[in-house]
């Protein structure tokens, strides 16, 4: 339930496999109703995904502001990349599309940037003024870079090349599940990837998020070759929803 006088914004988090939504009290980053998740339409084309978002908005009876994440580069509401959704998204004005379909005032933000904003404000990165890299391991690998608390948007570090292929093709959570990798084998891939990032950016802190962060005890202790501090996200898979709501506030 929302606190009396709370400012609520609907957060919608679009991923490669699911679309999640919930109203959020943006003053403290809490979900005010239970989140709802629906499968991402396949193929994940703009009209189909927009209809899924509209269904969630209707289900909540929502008429206020909304923030929506997208798994790709977003500039001025326009989609520039869509590695894990249909390529027909590229060049689409998503802010206009979602606003038209839902009838709401909406903002659109990169999914990992949204999760990072939530963690930096309410979670594992709160108050940290150094260089912070947030990584989300799921269908792909999302990234968010902060220095002195300020976001550098759309970094998309999941697409740096490791051993001749996109890093997320080797180290995403989806790859661990699809290839039935044990935690030690997968952690070795994650460690190699994060060492590449560390050599490029030298962050003080890595925050590891996405759904797999709930199982951080199974793999974070196996990341042995990093200089930076590595901590699990505290908001887990709700970070994207909260960050989306912050963007829409």
The string of pLDDT tens digits covering residues 165-215 is 999 999 999 999 999 999 999 999 999 999 999 999 999 999 999 989 999
Measured from the Cβ of residue 214, the count of other Cβ atoms closer than 10 Å reads: 13
Phi and psi (nearest 5°) for 24? -130, 135
pLDDT in tens, 213-230: 999 999 999 998 899 999
Confirm if 62 and 28 have CB atoms less than 8 A apart: no
pLDDT at 4 over 80: no
Nearest CA to 85 out of 134, 48, 135 is that of: 48
Domain 8-113+239-248 and domain 126-233 have a common topology: yes
| pLDDT at 121 (0 to 100) | 97
pTM of the model as a whole: 0.95
* Domain spans of the chain, in order of start: 8-113+239-248, 126-233
Choices 2.40.50.140, 3.30.420.40, 3.40.50.1970, 1.10.3720.10: CATH for 126-233: 3.30.420.40
Bridge partners of 207, per DSSP, are: 134, 231
Q: Rounded to whole angstroms, how far apart are CA atoms 115 and 209?
A: 8
CATH class for the region spanning 8-113+239-248: alpha beta
- Mean pLDDT, the chain, rounded, equals 96
Is residue 37 exposed (0-12), middle (13-18) or buried (19+ Cβ within 10 Å)? Answer: middle
Nearest CA to 209 out of 74, 113, 85 is that of: 113
Confirm if 83 and 90 have CB atoms less than 8 A apart: no
Q: How many helices (H) and strands (E) does the chain have?
A: 7, 15
Measured from the Cβ of residue 79, the count of other Cβ atoms closer than 10 Å reads: 24
pLDDT at 21 over 90: yes
Percentage of residues in the chain with pLDDT exceeding 70? 98
Q: Rounded to whole angstroms, how far apart are CA atoms 213 and 42?
A: 26
pLDDT in tens, 25-81: 999 999 999 999 999 999 999 999 999 999 999 999 999 999 999 999 999 999 999
3-class SS string, 204-215: CEEEEECHHHHH
Two tokens, residue 223: 């990341």
pLDDT in tens, 118-128: 999 999 999 99
Q: Rounded to whole angstroms, how far apart are CA atoms 244 and 238?
A: 10
């Amino acid at each position: 339930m929302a606190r009396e006088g709370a400012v609520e914004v609907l957060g919608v988090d679009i991923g490669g496999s699911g679309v999640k939504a919930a109203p959020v009290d943006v003053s403290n980053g809490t979900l005010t109703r239970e989140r709802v998740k629906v499968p991402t339409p396949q193929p994940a084309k703009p009209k189909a995904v927009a209809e899924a978002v509209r269904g969630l908005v209707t289900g909540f009876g929502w008429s206020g502001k909304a923030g929506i994440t997208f798994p790709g580069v977003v500039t001025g509401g326009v989609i520039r990349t869509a590695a894990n959704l249909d390529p027909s998204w590229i060049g689409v004005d998503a802010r206009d599309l979602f606003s038209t379909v839902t009838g709401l005032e909406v903002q659109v933000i990169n999914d990992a940037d949204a999760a990072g904003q939530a963690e930096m404000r309410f979670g594992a990165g709160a108050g940290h003024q150094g260089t912070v890299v947030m990584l989300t391991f799921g269908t792909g690998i999302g990234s968010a870079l902060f220095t002195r608390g300020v976001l550098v948007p759309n970094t998309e570090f999941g697409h740096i090349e490791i051993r001749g292929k996109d890093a997320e093709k080797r180290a995403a959570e989806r790859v661990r599940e699809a290839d039935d990798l044990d935690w030690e084998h997968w952690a070795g891939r994650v460690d190699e990837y994060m060492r590449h990032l560390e050599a490029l950016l030298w962050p003080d802190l890595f925050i590891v998020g996405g759904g797999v962060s709930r199982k951080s005890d199974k793999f974070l202790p196996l990341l042995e070759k990093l200089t930076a501090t590595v901590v699990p996200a505290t908001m887990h898979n709700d970070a994207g929803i909260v960050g989306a709501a912050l963007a829409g506030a």
